[in-house]
A and B are shown apart, each in its own frame.
Chain A
Amino acid sequence: MAEWNQAGKSPEVLFWVGCAGSFDDRSKKITKAFVELLQRANVSFAVLGPEESCSGDPAKRAGNEFLFQMQASTNIKTLNRYSVKKIVTACPHCFNTIKNEYPQLGGTYEVLHHTQFLNHLVEEGRLEIDENTYKGKKITFHDPCYLGRANNEYNAPRSLITKLKAELVEMKSCKEKGLCCGAGGAQMFKDAEKGNKEVNIERTEQALDTNTEVIAAGCPFCNTMLHDGVKNKEKESKVAVMDVAQLLAQTESL
């Protein structure tokens, strides 16, 4: 972003990479896939790089309002300094926090989840997708809580999957009733309380019950949780866990 600024120009959109997308090995692949798609569609974009800091979501959900607001205020300062208008991110937690919780602290932007952004690109004809790679394949979509229930977006990812001409199969609980992967509310960073099962296993079982070939996710945390679930069930060779952006990026570029 700093470079754009120095050149006195501004990109079409700021890509908010997020902590998982920056540091976690599985999630970095999602980041790269998304960047590849942005480049394919000739979208001019910038990232904050070292100027980006945690959105504060896990701190807020853990109950630390103070730390959250420190993070948020710092980020808002940076974003406002660059006069950022439009933000896209592949992490529903960052998406939700920046979209819904930054405005009260002085940061108002147009914020899109990457599946929404990609869907627009395809609909505007800027991004073409090959319909052969996944034609007829069974794909199920796991709704991230912070995209679905928290922000009522159930359609964008599904619309992309349908555009791939894949067969979209739904799990027992989906959309409004979608079952959490178990990572939200800062659970990602701690062990689960005592119970008789892990949440991600329960969800993976629901996904496997659909006989799907691919479990599509729209969140780096869900992705990890479900991947762990599939690994636990020893189904890695049969069922892939992929972000919607990875699905699109794997199609041949036209």
Chain B
Amino acid sequence: MAVGLFTRNILRIIRNIRLGHAIDRSDRKSDRWKHMARLALGQSKMTVRPIAGLLHIIVYVGFVVINIELLEIILDGFLGTHRVLAPYLGSAYDVLISVFEVFALLVIVAVTLFWLRRNALRISRFWKPEMKGWPKKDADYILYIELVLMFLFLTMNASDFWLQQYSQDASYVQAGRFPVSSWITPLFDGMQVSSVILVERIAWWMHIIGIFAFLNYLYYSKHLHILLAFPNTFYANLNPLGRFSHSETVANEVKLMLDPSADPYATPSPTSEPSTFGAADVTDLHRVQLLNAYSCTECGRCTDECPANQTGKKLSPRKIMMDTRDRLESVGKLLNKGLPIDDNTLLDNYVSREELWACTTCNACVEACPISIDPLSIIMDMRQYLVMEQSSAPTELNAMMTNIENNGAPWPFNQQDRLKWSKE
């Protein structure tokens, strides 16, 4: 059932992402694999901040490694065996379990430190306005769940280890040294064999149920990044950050304007191009932008580097990503019920114009994101909508653009005077 729910959620995410228009990122395959390997698998950008980076790598590796143990747990569950792999692997099993246990301990330490950073040190980026409510709770829940899972894992091992020593039942194979959980084992001394068996069973069940529950929690959480970081980095923008998106529709229009003899039908308008300029809602964005929104971990590294945010402006690139996801989710919920999309839009109902116009297009957020999310492209698309569909740029910018139109410079100077400097 857990797997079924999980599949349903994944399918919903895919359906929602496909609400965006297609974008061709099928080029440079080998660069894309490398980018993904470096950033998602190799966590190369996490270590830009060494402490958080190291802790994150511990949790990440720990998570992957300990889930190998899950394989055995599931096998045991289906076969009705106990530690089915132990006899086959012999001393290697001991080593393996020892590694799992050490990682479990490290994860506990790392997660505790993460919690302290968030809640005791109160690092400012975790306390920005967009983190109020669910996002804050979500972040804490994840840490709690991870802690509980690790404790369950160790309790399971500890009680098992005790049973290996004191129970007559031969099915409790001597599986090894249990370097960490053996410290917990003495707690069971003096207890009845049957109650320790109960403890072991409860921990075993809770651990596996917990993992499946966690799997289904992902959909509602920023923790989705553990899966989506991979496709997200694969489909990242690999062009120089300074190259902003190009519009073929506009290119055709301009061609007609500048060359009236051009045949308007000669260049077929490309099908993937949306009919509106820029973006007012999530359906005007492209699919990678929507994938970005689901992948965002809400870590706030982008916002931390944002010059607008640092100087107290309302703009926060993280909020742009969170808003995009929230809006996409609310659209998705309507679709789940078979209802049409409502009149709300990402622009104005979620992201204000004040935020959009505060951006200096400096790319600090894009550079800072550990998984190559591009908040700037969404900001730019919405600006484009404001200017090209609504003609509602700030007045000073309108003046600047009129100047460019009339005299080829953002200031009211005469184009004929462009060489004056050489004579001064």
Contact = CB atoms under 8 A, between A and B. Distances in A.
Interface of A: 17, 19, 21-24, 28, 31-32, 35, 47-50, 52-54, 56, 58-67, 69-71, 73-74, 77, 96-97, 99-101, 104-105, 145-146, 149-152, 173, 176-180, 182-199, 201-203
Question: Lowest 9 CB-CB distances: which A-B pairs, in order?
Answer: A150-B242, A185-B361, A196-B312, A53-B408, A63-B383, A195-B312, A180-B362, A100-B243, A63-B387
A161 to B, nearest CB: 22
Interface in B226-247: 239-244, 246-247
A50 B384 contact: no
B312 A146 contact: no
A62 B387 contact: yes
Contacts of A176: 367
B364 A180 contact: yes
Given A62-B387, A63-B278, A64-B401, A179 B310 contact: yes
A70 B254 contact: yes
Nearest to A190: B396
A23 B409 contact: yes
Contacts of B359: 185
A149 B258 contact: no
A177 B305 contact: yes
Contact of A65 (B247, B394, B422): B247
B421 interface: yes
B120 to A, nearest CB: 25
B421 A187 contact: no
Contact of B388 (A24, A66, A96, A99): A66
B135 interface: no
Contacts of B247: 65, 69
B239 A100 contact: yes
Interface string B232-274: 0000000111111011001101110110000000000000000
A32 B409 CA distance: 19
Interface string B312-337: 11110000000000000000000000
B241 A149 contact: yes
Contact of B363 (A71, A73, A150): A150
Interface size range of chain B in the complex: 35 or more
Interface centre among B250, B354, B420 (most CB of A within 10 A): B250
Contact of B250 (A47, A66, A149, A198): A66
Given A62-B387, A146-B242, A195-B308, A184 B361 contact: yes
Contact of B415 (A47, A50, A58): A50
A69 B252 CA distance: 10
Given A69-B254, A182-B360, A195-B313, A58 B400 contact: yes
B311 interface: yes
Given A104-B246, A105-B251, A150 B364 contact: no
Given A63-B387, A65-B384, A199 B360 contact: yes
B411 A149 contact: no
B418 A52 contact: yes
Nearest to B415: A50
Chain B binding site: helix, strand, loop or mixed by DSSP?
helix
B153 interface: no
Nearest to B304: A177
A89 to B, nearest CB: 14
B314 A28 contact: no
B397 A189 contact: yes
Interface centre among A63, A100, A101 (most CB of B within 10 A): A63
B254 A149 contact: no
B132 to A, nearest CB: 20
25 contacts: A17-B421, A19-B409, A47-B422, A52-B418, A58-B410, A62-B383, A64-B384, A65-B277, A66-B250, A69-B247, A69-B254, A70-B257, A96-B240, A100-B242, A100-B243, A105-B251, A145-B360, A150-B241, A173-B305, A179-B307, A187-B360, A189-B410, A190-B400, A195-B314, A199-B307
B404 A63 contact: no
A54 B362 contact: no
A148 to B, nearest CB: 9
B386 A63 contact: yes
Contacts of B170: none
A96 B422 CA distance: 25
Contacts of B387: 62-64
A69 to B, nearest CB: 4
Contacts of A104: 246, 251
B413 A23 contact: yes
Nearest to A203: B307
A62 B241 contact: no
B138 to A, nearest CB: 27
Nearest to A196: B312
Contacts of B413: 19, 22-23
A63 B388 contact: yes
Given A17-B418, A59-B404, A186-B397, A96 B242 contact: yes
A62 B380 CA distance: 8
A182 B307 contact: yes
B244 A67 contact: no
Contacts of B308: 193, 195, 199
Interface in B289-306: 305
A67 B364 contact: no
Contacts of A178: 364
Nearest to B424: A28
A56 B404 contact: yes
B368 to A, nearest CB: 8
Task: Identify which of A23, A48, A96, A151 gathers the most chain B CB atoms within 10 Å of its CB.
Answer: A23
Given A23-B413, A66-B250, A149-B241, A71 B314 contact: no
